Amino acid sequence: MIYLDHQATTPLAPEAREAMLRWLGGPDSTTFGNPHSPHRLGRQAEAAVEVARERVAALFPAGGRVIFTGSATEALNLALRGCAPVRAGMGVAISGIEHAAVEETARSLPNPLTILSVDGDGLVDAEGEWPAGTGLVSVMQVNNEIGTIQPVDRLYERARAAGALFVCDAVQAAGKLPIAAADMIAISAHKFYGPKGIGALWVREGVELTPLLTGGGQEGGCRSGTLSPALCAGMGVAAELALSRMAKDAAHTDRLFARALDLFAGWTLNGSATQRYTGNLNLRRQGVDVARLMSDVRQVAFSAGSACASDSGKPSRVLAVIGLSAAEAKGSIRLGLGRYTADADLEQAASLLETAVAAQGR
């Protein structure tokens, strides 16, 4: 199987797996403690969680704290539902290409909602207006479907000047690009070669949150529930590894991206060619039946549009927002390149896909 779906998830890095195994001990081990217990076993587990927290914190700007969550979806829900301006009923502004974790959450709030416009290159309008009374702006750093890098620095500057909090969904940026500054930032371990089932919300000092989950008061009272030392340790090592290899990993995807543009010369790139993370290649070709392509080329794991939307049978919302027709969106595929993608994988995938497209007479 050739894995080209790195926006959906990434394989676990061997280093992260190794770190996790140590905290998955059985009855004969000393590593199964509850990190919130006061005895020695508990304190050992707590120490592992705190080491992991520091490693994860190194991904973020200085001056904030890391709250572990079960996923980035939970982190974004905590940020959007739990912050003071939203609870006070102030307006919320998001872009038209946010992940469902932000979009659906924002739509479910009773607060007035503004959708910031996005151009044909898949870039949010950095000068887009939001009404007076907006207390929270949420824009992602890298789009999960088309890989475009958003002008979040400028949006944060404007939000600050307007007295609004700024949330950044950095799920597709974390571990790949330096994370941009914001008031709250959500990430997910399984997008940077860490385990599934753990995410984090970074919160700038001074930003108050009302918890979604109440109970034992863990995570400074912001997120009750027993943490998994194994998941924390895996996320911590994955974060440390991603930081130490960031330039190397970026050079690798840059090179693969350039090669892919040659191999897929008959396709058109969706989204800006320059303002993008090169591990994401969203391509369209007129008349291609992507559903048939996916069933013909089962040796390659890739996605039709967004992995989240692909079960729905509906054309991608993001591709529609950037101006693609329903037919163009339906003829689009997303290839996700990553740390362990070899040149030969990409070449073989391209050959299999091109052969299947030719068989469709396209």
Nearest distance, CB of residue 197 and ligand PLP, angstroms: 9
Report the nearest approach of ligand PLP to the CB of residue 73 (Å): 3
**d(C-alpha 68, C-alpha 211), whole Å:** 13
**What gap in Å lies between CA 238 and CA 194, rounded to an integer?**
5
232 is catalytic: no
157 contact partners, CB below 8 Å, separation of at least 6: none
Closer Cβ to ligand PLP, 169 or 328, answer by number? 169
* CB 172 to ligand PLP: min, Å: 5
Number of amino acids touching ligand PLP (CB under 6 A): 13
For ligand PLP, the binding residue among 10, 95, 105, 144 (CB under 6 A) is 144
- 171 counts as binding ligand PLP under rule CB under 6 A: yes
Say if residue 9 is exposed, middle or buried (CB neighbours under 10 Å; 0-12, 13-18, 19+).
middle
Taking the C-alpha atoms of residue 328 and residue 330, their distance in angstroms, rounded to an integer, is 5
Return the residue of 6, 53, 55, 99 that touches ligand PLP, per CB under 6 A: 99
Pick between residue 201 and residue 293 the one whose CB is nearest to ligand PLP: 201
Of the candidate residues 135, 194, 199, 211, the single one contacting ligand PLP (CB under 6 A): 199
- Binding residue for ligand PLP, selected from 19, 49, 72, 174, defined by CB under 6 A: 72
Q: Which is nearer to ligand PLP, 304 or 356 (CB)?
A: 304
Say if residues 339 and 310 touch (Cβ distance below 8 Å): no
Binding mask 271-310 for ligand PLP (x = CB under 6 A): -------------------------------------x--
Q: Is 71 in the site for ligand PLP (CB under 6 A)?
A: yes
CB of 65 to ligand PLP, least distance (A): 19
User: Closer CB to ligand PLP, residue 181 or residue 357?
Assistant: 181
List, in order, residues 6 or more apart from 133 with CB less than 8 Å away: 90, 91, 112
Does 103 interact with ligand PLP (rule: CB under 6 A)?
no
Query: Counting beta carbons within 10 angstroms of the beta carbon of residue 313, is it exposed (0 to 12), middle (13 to 18) or buried (19 or more)?
Result: exposed
Q: What is the CA radius of gyration of the chain?
A: 21
Contacts of 138 (CB under 8 A, 6+ apart): 76, 79, 80, 92, 93, 94, 95, 98, 102, 106, 166, 167, 168, 169
Q: Which residues are catalytic?
A: 308
Q: Which positions lie near ligand PLP, rule CB under 6 A?
A: 71-73, 99, 101, 140, 144, 169, 171-172, 188, 199, 308
